[in-house]
Amino acid sequence: MDLSLLRRRFLSCSPVGEIWTKDIIKESTQQDILLSTVLCECLKGRPLSQSYTNNFMKTFMHKIEEFGGEIYDCTYEAYGDILSLSAPTVEHRHYDLSDTTICLQESGSLVAEGTTGLKTWQASQYLAEYLLANKSLVEGKKVLELGCGLGFLGLAICAACRCGSYILSDHHSSVLQKLHANIAINEEKLLCIPNVEEIDWNIASAAASSPSQLHGLDIILAADVVFDKELIPSLVKCIEKLVSSNSQCQVLIASTIRNPDTYASFSQAVGDTGFQRKQVVSNATKLFVYDESSEIVIDRVSKASFS
């Protein structure tokens, strides 16, 4: 049984999939599985969704029976304890990096409180994998993230890389509120503490100039921000304004191509603005568990030509 993969999938509330092997019928393996999942230290005070945990335990016990094994007391007891708990008021997900684990207050809903920002999307996990494999792109750099949502990408980077500074930004009040909570939860693990700015692309794109704290950026990051054709002109204009104080500023935008038409509008808008655009080929090792049913791409965008 691959306990590390099981833990990774469980803690991030991802589908566990066909991971089960016959050794789960052994009492010692059942104990190890419980310690890697429902009894994991990091869940103390930071629980996952109750329904996810319940379903996981049901699947685990069902698999033991399918393999013709006995469900040992340790497993029954853990299940009983879980059933006796009331549903948590705040749900979390935990993401294992190579050396640490980051935790986010996060529900699984695709849209909640009128925003898509209260969930971690796959493009941010894909971009995090790329940047963790290419740390020099952010280490020592002044980094701004647009449309950061709950902060997964920024927190993963700040936990693993010594950025010069990192600004997380979004426009939605509930998103910003949860973002502050997520920074606080992870603060002790971070090598660089991010700042938070409220940036609305519609407002920033129309402003005469960017505020001084956003001048001199080395790199701008954004993940899963290309999803609504109507937002693309202001997003691209906002980026154009932000890079104007440093023509060498690089921009990395990770997009899940759910609708090729929307992505084509983005490519067109970037080209019309006179930016260079090049797709990055990611060399990264997979660290996170996310939906890969739609293609995910990283575009490198710059005013300067690529070397």
Ligand X SMILES: C[S@@+](CC[C@H](N)C(=O)[O-])C[C@H]1O[C@@H](n2cnc3c(N)ncnc32)[C@H](O)[C@@H]1O
Binding residues vs ligand X (CB under 6 A): 115-117, 120-121, 123-124, 147-149, 152, 170-172, 175, 199-202, 223-225, 227, 231
Nearer to ligand X (CB atom), residue 29 or residue 282:
282
Nearer to ligand X (CB atom), residue 38 or residue 144:
144
Adjacent-strand bridge partners of 255: 297
Rounded to an integer, what distance in angstroms lies between the CA atom of residue 163 and that of residue 180? 19
Which of 183, 166, 177 has its CA nearest to residue 117? Answer: 177
**Considering the complex, what minimum distance in angstroms separates the CB of residue 167 from ligand X?**
13
- 92: tokens are 């979390």
Nearer to ligand X (CB atom), residue 16 or residue 150:
150
**Considering the complex, what minimum distance in angstroms separates the CB of residue 27 from ligand X?**
40
Calculate the CA 96 to chain-centre distance: 11
Non-local (6+) Cβ contacts of 22 within 8 A are 67
**Considering the complex, what minimum distance in angstroms separates the CB of residue 213 from ligand X?**
17
Nearer to ligand X (CB atom), residue 60 or residue 227:
227
Adjacent-strand bridge partners of 198: 170
**Considering the complex, what minimum distance in angstroms separates the CB of residue 232 from ligand X?**
11
Instruction: Name the residue with the smallest CB distance to ligand X.
Output: 117
Calculate the CA 164 to chain-centre distance: 21
CB 128 within 8 A of CB 70: no
**Considering the complex, what minimum distance in angstroms separates the CB of residue 242 from ligand X?**
12
Nearer to ligand X (CB atom), residue 107 or residue 202:
202
